Amino acid sequence: MTSITEFSDANTLWVIHIGNNDRIALRALEEGFVCIGWTEMGDLAVHGTRPAMRAAMEAAYPSWTAKKIKSSYGQTYRFAHEMQVGEPVVFPVRPTKEIAIGRISGEYRWAADDADLMVNDCNNIRPVEWLKVVPRTVFTSAARHSFGAFLAVSTSNDHLEEVQAVLLDESIDEQSERVEQLVPEPPIETDSGDDGETVQDLYETVTQETEDHLLTTWQQTGAAFEEVVAAVFEAMGYTATVTQASGDHGVDVIAHPDALGLERPYIKVQVKSGIGSVGEPEVNQLKGLLNTEEQGVLVPCDT
């Protein structure tokens, strides 16, 4: 087993995305590899310079625009020729919403003998030794944003130390970010090719970063968590009030359809933050707090 402390001497942190094929992504995680497409180009190893790689891509994809060629051939070149054995790699695992951390454990290989990878346009591979798989939310929002670049092959060298900290189970200081921002940062600008692909990538990035923010906020405790719940009710058109910390008898948020609180339904909300499960005792407790024509909502945070 490779020592994870070896990354302290690394200068490059690779980020690999395996398209939209969830099954291949899970297979890569299970079998220990990363892969990219551009199958029509054949074995990338024979294109030993950047000009040669670009010419090969232009020949393989004659209908592609110059913009798309420009944004793509550098990725294939880096994957085949610049990645070095022993360098760290992060792989955002789309279907599980996790991030796998590993090290490149072998040279580039053209997997022409793997029909599954070939038919799914994923047959350019690099062996990887996976060291750890963690939830996306253990990283700072800046790191997650960097890992969410649209390109299949990119680097995120500024976050190498953070990856090392996660491997060593060290805490990450969020104060440097001042707190997670409610609105996700604009996605990393890349020349990803066709407008339709760019729009889809943008949609997926914004969706994921919004979900990440909600998850990290949901894991807070105390008043901050209650404020988040109240804000959700406000967004749905209710007037929501967070009750005082003392004397609330277990009701954390009160919501109603109008500003004066005269219209029904009158909703009492109890929030349960932190790690743990919510069961029948908590449900019965909330039921006991409801008067006639009142409704109750129990909001758990089961991470």
Angstrom CA distances, 194 to 52, 62, 148, 197, stand at 23, 14, 18, 5
pLDDT, the chain, mean: 79
Do residue 173 and residue 91 come from a single domain?
yes
Do residue 47 and residue 63 come from a single domain?
yes
Q: Which tens digit of pLDDT belongs to each residue from 164-218? A: 999 988 866 554 443 344 344 444 444 444 444 444 444 455 555 555 555 555 5
For the segment 289-299, the average pLDDT, to the nearest whole number, is: 80
CB-CB contact of 194 with 65 (8 Å): yes
Look at residues 200, 217, 234 and tell me which one is the last residue of a structural domain. 217
CB-CB contact of 127 with 106 (8 Å): yes
Look at residues 166, 193, 217 and tell me which one is the last residue of a structural domain. 217
Do residue 175 and residue 237 come from a single domain?
no
Do residue 274 and residue 164 come from a single domain?
no
Do residue 258 and residue 177 come from a single domain?
no
Length of the chain measured in residues: 303
pLDDT on residue 194:
47
Do residue 115 and residue 66 come from a single domain?
yes
> Which residues share a beta bridge with 91?
100
Do residue 51 and residue 153 come from a single domain?
yes
Q: Apex CA 95: angle with CA 90 and CA 100, to 5°?
A: 20
Do residue 158 and residue 266 come from a single domain?
no
Can you give the CATH number for the domain in which 241 is found? Answer: 3.40.1350.10
Do residue 99 and residue 192 come from a single domain?
yes
pLDDT on residue 249:
63
Do residue 270 and residue 156 come from a single domain?
no
How many CB atoms lie under 10 A from the CB of residue 100? 21
3-state DSSP helix/strand/coil percent for the chain, to nearest 5? 40, 20, 40
For the segment 147-160, the average pLDDT, to the nearest whole number, is: 88
What is the three-class DSSP state of 235?
helix
Q: Which of 58, 36, 34, 62 is nearest to 47 (CA)?
A: 58
Q: Which pair of tokens denotes residue 205?
A: 């990035």
For the segment 145-157, the average pLDDT, to the nearest whole number, is: 87
Q: Which tens digit of pLDDT belongs to each residue from 16-75? A: 999 778 999 999 999 999 999 999 999 999 999 999 999 999 999 999 999 999 989 999
- Return the residue matching tokens 């990887």: 128
Counted domains in the chain: 2
Cis previous bond, 127, omega within 30? no
Q: pTM of the predicted model, to two decimals?
A: 0.63
**Amino acid at position 263, single letter:** E
What's the CA gap between 91 and 296, in Å, rounded?
Answer: 41
For the segment 91-102, the average pLDDT, to the nearest whole number, is: 92
Look at residues 170, 194, 217 and tell me which one is the last residue of a structural domain. 217
Q: How far is CA 288 from the centre of its chain?
A: 40
Residue 25 lies in domain:
4-217
For the segment 83-100, the average pLDDT, to the nearest whole number, is: 93
Do residue 102 and residue 169 come from a single domain?
yes
Do residue 152 and residue 174 come from a single domain?
yes
